[in-house]
Amino acid sequence: MIRRLFAIIHKEINHILRDPKTLMVLFLMPATMVVLFGFALNMDITHIPVAVIDHDNTPESRAFIRAFTGSKYFTAAYRIDDVSEVENLFKNRSIKAAIVIPNGFGKDFTTRPEVDYQLLVDGSDPTYGQAVTNYASAIATSYSLSNPGAARLVPIEIRDVFLYNPDLKGSNFITPGLVAVILMMACALLTSITIAREKETGTMDVLTVSPVRPIEIMVGKVIPYVGVSLIDAVFIIVFAKLVFNIPLRGDLVLLLGLSVVYVYCALGIGLFISSIAKTQQVAMMAALVATIMPSILLSGFMFPIFSMPAPIRIITYLVPAKYYLEIIRGILLKSSTFGILQNQVLFLAILGTAFIVIASLRFKTRVN
């Protein structure tokens, strides 16, 4: 049994080593992603280009506009006279918002308790549009509160404490997430081909008439990829540590141990797809299409799961990346212990086993 298993493992390792281009992508990919994401990801929206339309043109209105353009959030890209010009500027993507100060603003500001100004927002990108609106009202409020003595009128104090990521660095959140997303795709892609390839080239028949049992083929095919994937995982974490100095607060041995469970689950998905698909092409397409978007969008990598509608939240239980994201972020950023993460581990183990069992069942019936 052990000897036959080793034979299969040996054969698969040869397959992997013989294809340096694939191996290269396996390591180049995470490195590129970490660098691109680390630099490209900048959650702070600043220097929003705006058009200023000042119908009032008094010292008061100019001071108010300076409160906007003097902040890091807004840059006055255009000063125009007429609101009708705004549409063209929006369509050419030259500005994201326009500040319109009505006639009489200065007079009203000194005599009335409340004055209005208008903010025209390009809402086509809702995140951006929301940010623009929030920044503008924050600036307007704090401008009106800058009146000395106003602070004393507020009877309470509000204190924010940001735990686990006090500098609010986006890369601390994204880089561990990348490990989860990349590993998922790498594992599923790698294993999705292994069985389909043997079927297509006809070597599967040779394997099945040999004394090797189906379960041995499965296990023998999985073990080398577990190795490759774990090396990949360690590589990503070390690389991210070196380039972006992400914190490694928790127990790294625990992380490595739990990564094995995740890799097992991801490989299970690949095997499952491989056992269904007739040709390599179908297997690969299915593996890529099935993992690339869901592990980015349904895992909580960028979009919070708790805000999704209930049916979608149920679907996310089938996305292994969701559990691993909680594990790796927990260990790296919050130094979570096994006790806190046991549910996630349990789900991963169940999912992985389910996929592998279904795959070997399908494989057996095929062979007979």
Partner 1 sequence: MKALKYIIKKEFIQLRRTRSMIGIALVMPIVQLVILGFAVSGDVIHVPTALIDLDNSPMSRTLANKFDNTRYLEIKFHSRDHRDSDRYLEENKAIIAITIPHDFERDIARGKRPAIMIKADAQNTNIALTGSGYVRRILQSWLTSLSPGGEIPIALHTINTESRVWYNPELKQTWFMVPGILVLLVTIITMLLTGFAIVREREMGTLEQLMVTPITRTELILGKTIPFAVLGMVDMMLALFVAKIIYQIPIAGSLFLFLGLSLIYLFCTLGLGILVSTVARTQQQALFLDWYILVFCIIMSGFFLPLENMPKLIYYLTYIDPVRYFMTIVRELFLKGSGMSALWEPTVALVILAVILMTSAIIRLNKRLG
Subset of residues 273 to 292 that bind partner 1, contact rule: CB under 8 A: 277-282, 284-286, 288-290, 292
Choose between 20 and 211: whose C-beta lies nearer to partner 1: 20
The residue among 89, 158, 163 whose CA lies nearest residue 121 is 89
Choose between 154 and 253: whose C-beta lies nearer to partner 1: 154
String marking each residue 122-161 x if it binds partner 1 according to CB under 8 A: xxxxxxxxx--xx-xx--xx-xxx-x-xx--xxxxxxxxx
Sheet holding 48-54, edge to edge: 74-79, 48-54, 97-101
Transcribe 231-271 into DSSP letters. Answer: HHHHHHHHHHHHHH-----S-HHHHHHHHHHHHHHHHHHHH
Structure tokens at 150: 């106003």
How many residues in total does the chain contain?
Answer: 368
Taking CB under 8 A as the criterion, the residue among 5, 212, 219, 297 binding partner 1 is 297
- Please state the φ and ψ torsions of residue 78, each to the nearest 5 degrees: -140, 145
Taking CB under 8 A as the criterion, the residue among 166, 202, 211, 365 binding partner 1 is 166
Helices (H), 18-93: 20-40, 59-69, 86-91
String marking each residue 303-322 x if it binds partner 1 according to CB under 8 A: xx-xxxx-xx--xx------
Cβ proximity of 284 and 200 under 8 Å? no
String marking each residue 193-212 x if it binds partner 1 according to CB under 8 A: x---x---------------
Structure tokens at 280: 């390599």
Taking CB under 8 A as the criterion, the residue among 330, 347, 351, 356 binding partner 1 is 330
Q: Is 54 in the site for partner 1 (CB under 8 A)?
A: no
Choose between 294 and 352: whose C-beta lies nearer to partner 1: 294
Distance CA 2, CA 50 (A): 70
Q: By CB under 8 A, how many residues form the interface with partner 1?
A: 116
- Please state the φ and ψ torsions of residue 302, each to the nearest 5 degrees: -120, -40
Task: Write down the least CB distance from residue 107 to partner 1, Å.
Answer: 12
Choose between 6 and 28: whose C-beta lies nearer to partner 1: 28
Choose between 117 and 363: whose C-beta lies nearer to partner 1: 117
Task: Write down the least CB distance from residue 42 to partner 1, Å.
Answer: 4
Choose between 120 and 265: whose C-beta lies nearer to partner 1: 120
Choose between 177 and 352: whose C-beta lies nearer to partner 1: 177
- Pick the piece of the chain touching partner 1 (CB under 8 A) from 2-10, 114-122, 260-268, 355-363: 114-122
String marking each residue 4-33 x if it binds partner 1 according to CB under 8 A: ---------------x-xx--xx-xx--xx
CA separation, residue 75 to residues 23, 89, 101, 128, 140 (Å):
46, 15, 16, 15, 16
- Please state the φ and ψ torsions of residue 171, each to the nearest 5 degrees: -65, -25
Task: Write down the least CB distance from residue 173 to partner 1, Å.
Answer: 5
Q: Which residue has the tokens 């004394």?
A: 211
Longest dimension (CA), the chain: 95
Choose between 6 and 107: whose C-beta lies nearer to partner 1: 107
Distance CA 222, CA 270 (A): 10
3-class SS of residue 54: strand
Q: Please report, as residue ranges, which positions from 75 to 94 form the binding site for partner 1 (by CB under 8 A).
A: 90-93
Task: Write down the least CB distance from residue 279 to partner 1, Å.
Answer: 7
Q: Please give the single-letter amino acid code of residue 19.
A: D
* CB hemisphere CA count around 171 (13 angstroms): 18
Structure tokens at 187: 């594992």
- Pick the piece of the chain touching partner 1 (CB under 8 A) from 112-120, 202-210, 256-264, 359-367: 112-120
Distance CA 347, CA 113 (A): 58
